[in-house]
Chain A
Amino acid sequence: MNFKPIHKLSILVVFTALCLASNYALISLPQVKLMDFLVFTGGFLIGSVYGAAIGIFSWLVYGALNPYGFVPQIWLATMLSESLYGVIGGIIGREFYKEDFGNSYFSLNVFFGVLGFILTFFYDLITNIVYAITFNVPVIVAIFTGAPYTILHQVFNAIVFGVCFLPTVITLQKLMGGVWTGILEK
């Protein structure tokens, strides 16, 4: 979509606010957050750089003002790995029209669900490795002991990405009056 920088900046601010509000609202539910989905969606709509910025700015605040505590190394790791969602979202958004999904909602839903799972796998892997290094815990132990939480995180994101991404993006594109990026209409 061809937005002016000021529009992109506005979207960035709104998505960052959404990430923060939803994170604090869901703070009692570990690993159940909409932030990853929102960062990815933001990146898809306004590009990788802005998408990454949504992730970084969200963690900048949420990581610093977090009732579960503050560890600088983990904070930096989560900021950078969260930006992964925005970067990949931007790349997918740019390259999306080249792919042929046969105009199938089901294929697209599965594709984005799988994408959400795999991105979350790498996010969890990075943050677990940083946690292990920070607290001097063997990496394998850190990865395996956290497995129930990471699996929950990955499965939840797969469901949210798979079920919510297409309706959200289509609605936002219509709402914002941008150029149709080609989802299901080429």
Chain B
Amino acid sequence: MKNKWALATLVTLCWALAASSGLGYYYYQYTDLVNRLGGSLVPINLGIDYGNGTREWFNGTRGITLFDCMKQAGWEIETKSFPMGLYVTSINGVEESAEPLKYWGWWTWTECGWAHGGSACDKYIVSPNETILWYYSTVNSTTGEMTPPP
């Protein structure tokens, strides 16, 4: 072990092992996703609620991500791009507002009712026949919580 290069080689070996494992993991995740999707777009039940009693449904809208489905439904969408994904500021001309606090948020239907979507719409991979609703909801200024759809 006199040669420092031997140590450097061993460190590089460790890096190569870790990098190869990570590469294999992401390759497997990718191929698994492609296989599950079967190369086709997934149909979902997509809805929009403007918070004024108007709710429209676009059942059978297809896409891979939620954002794909929204575009497929023909919505006019304005977004801001962030590292974590797209942030929706306006849908079909209805913009978010600071006074009163009203923002767009998406919700997915579960056995327990509406559950708030946990990620940006362009990062969320939809599941077949999933029911998703975009809701223009008021936000509690104290807790920051969005009001769930009725």
Contact = CB atoms under 8 A, between A and B. Distances in A.
A144 B24 contact: yes
Nearest to B1: A99
A147 B14 contact: no
B54 to A, nearest CB: 44
A131 interface: no
Interface in B1-16: 1-2, 4, 7, 10-11, 13-14
Given A114-B14, A118-B14, A144 B7 contact: no
A79 interface: no
A44 interface: no
Contacts of B25: 144-145, 147-148
Interface residues of B, number: 16
B109 interface: no
B22 interface: yes
Interface string B1-40: 1101001001101100110011011011000000000000
Contact of B22 (A110, A111, A114, A147): A147
Interface in A58-116: 99-102, 107, 110-111, 114
A150 B1 contact: no
A121 interface: yes
A144 B28 CA distance: 7
Contacts of B18: 151, 154-155
A107 B7 contact: yes
Contacts of B14: 114, 117-118, 121, 154, 158
B24 A102 contact: no
Given A99-B1, A154-B14, A111 B7 contact: yes
A138 B74 CA distance: 43
Interface in B96-120: none
A99 B28 CA distance: 42
Interface string A136-158: 00001101110110110011001
B24 A114 contact: no
Contact of B28 (A100, A141, A154): A141
Interface of B: 1-2, 4, 7, 10-11, 13-14, 17-18, 21-22, 24-25, 27-28
18 contacts: A101-B1, A107-B1, A110-B7, A111-B1, A111-B10, A114-B13, A117-B14, A118-B10, A121-B17, A141-B28, A143-B21, A144-B24, A145-B25, A150-B21, A151-B22, A154-B14, A154-B18, A155-B18
